[in-house]
Amino acid sequence: MVPNPADQIETATDLGTLKRRSVHGAAWSFAAQALRFIVQFGSQVVLARLLTPGDFGLVAMVSPVLYFVQIFNELGLSQAAIQRVRITQQELSGLFWINLAVSCVLAILLACASPLVAGFYGEPRLAPVCVCLASLLILSGLSAQQIALMNRTMRFGSLAIIDFLCIAVAVVAGIWCALSGLGYWSLVVMQAVNSLTITVLAWSLSRWRPSGPGRTPGVLSMLRFGGHLTAYNLVTFAGTNLDSVLIGRLKGTFELGLYDRAFRLVAAPIAQIGLPVARIADSLLARLQGNDEQYCFAYLQILEALLLVTVPAVLFVALSAQSLVPLLFGAHWSDAAPIVAWLAVATLFAPLSISSYWLFVSQGRAAQQLRYVGVKSIFQVIALLIGLPQGAYGVARSYALFGILVHGSLLWGATSTGPVTLRRVAAVCLPFAVAAIATAAMVTASEALPIPGLEPGAGQIGRLTLNALLCLGGFGLAMVCQPQGRRILVGLWAMRSNFRSMPASE
């Protein structure tokens, strides 16, 4: 019988062990994500100078279709495996074979539908791109349960290696193809190499192997749980990918390329921060069910850390976009600067949604999550339709104006029941909101001052450096000036000190 690493996590139910594993998992994950961010950010800069907005826009037209199919490809089974308190080898193997079978079927269907995708956008070049990307679904099915099991057993070191190496290898391949003159195919190669690397590493680093296919009664309950998550992902898809579909359909590849790069410049760092945080939060909070005070304390501390990292960085991007975008991507990307600025403002509210997901999943409230994400998606679609007549810029601005409704509605639902209340979350968010407003005022005031050497167009690097210092130092000062802000900073520093003193986990 193949050993079942899934059972290893059940031997660690005491808070100290869970905390220790979470700590060292955080260290591994954030180190990998920091390296991943450097590589991915550098690749964005290089590829933006080697390729055109139209190249990015063309591949971005296929992305929503691929994301849509991947919703059914995953079926929420990875999260079901993580959330379940105990799971057997037979059940894990059943999930694996279901994932793989569904992946093969969906890959064939997507390949057959490629002419329809090309016809919808009026872009014949999309058909072969769609066929190539369809094959990646099979790779995803092969690696889904290995990755889920490493997450469940808190093997964050292995996951960190996968996270970094997959993007590093993909970036090298993509840049080499771009330098060779392959154009938009460079982006397709990047995605293909990324998926292949994940699969190879997942099988190499995982200690688990599936048993042969067979009847598995215990899988039915996980399929029901995964079905709710799949429905949730479908509703989320409508709110998060409809913008790319409509902009591409109505405005063409150039404007979609601008929007896609602007979105990735803002959203990619948040996603890279959110991924390791979500892994740790999902695993830790799921094991703290039944201990309401410890559960709430752990959730709020993770949220505080997430806000402390994301808010100053996003503020810097929002307030510096006019200088930042041309400096990074080149003058031919200047039209993306206002789009970047508004999307960054919208992203300030993203931690509310990110942390809501932890609560729903760790408490097994998938059905309730579906209802509230429907409300969130309605606000997103309304914002999209209002802004769409003005193209990508209008959509970005509308998202920023609707941000509190979009993300706050999901948080309200997540805290409507359970140990975490909206009042306690609001108490955590308030000092961050005050610090953000104060920081924005400081940067805006500095822009109006006639500082020698920092005139518009003459001192981009100097201006960006000053804005970065103001966003970091000004934000920290504004937090220190508030009693609640000082409590948060002291608490996070104490948590850091405690983490460093802990022995390494096995």
Query: Rounded CA gap, 7 and 466, in Å?
Result: 52
- pLDDT at position 504: 41
- pLDDT at position 169: 92
The torsion of the CA quartet 91, 96, 97, 99, rounded to 10 degrees, works out to 120
Confidence band of 499 (pLDDT split at 50, 70, 90): very low
Q: What percent of the chain has pLDDT over 90?
A: 15
Contact of 474 with 442, CB cutoff 8 Å: yes
- pLDDT at position 9: 35
- pLDDT at position 4: 45
DSSP letter (8 states) at residue 473: I
Query: pLDDT by residue (tens digit) across 200-252?
Result: 998 888 877 887 766 665 556 666 666 666 666 776 776 677 888 889 888 88
Query: pLDDT by residue (tens digit) across 167-210?
Result: 889 999 999 999 998 888 999 999 999 999 999 998 888 877 88
Q: What percent of the chain has pLDDT over 70?
A: 78
Confidence band of 449 (pLDDT split at 50, 70, 90): low
- pLDDT at position 274: 72
pLDDT greater than 70 at residue 23: no
Query: Rounded CA gap, 299 and 302, in Å?
Result: 5
- pLDDT at position 3: 43
Q: Pick the more confident residue, 79 or 410.
A: 410
Query: pLDDT by residue (tens digit) across 415-425?
Result: 988 888 999 99
Torsional class of 482: left (φ above 0), alpha (ψ -120 to 50), beta (otherwise):
beta
pLDDT greater than 60 at residue 148: yes
Which stretch of 33-47, 400-414, 484-498 has the lowest confidence by average pLDDT? Answer: 484-498
- Mean pLDDT for the chain? 79
Q: Pick the more confident residue, 163 or 458.
A: 163
Query: pLDDT by residue (tens digit) across 281-306?
Result: 777 787 777 778 888 888 888 888 88
- pLDDT at position 498: 45
For the stretch 487-495, contacts whose Cβ atoms lie closer than 8 Å and that sit 24 or more positions apart, written own/partner, are: 488/304, 488/308, 488/428, 488/431, 489/308, 491/301, 491/304, 492/301, 492/304, 492/305, 492/308, 495/301, 495/305
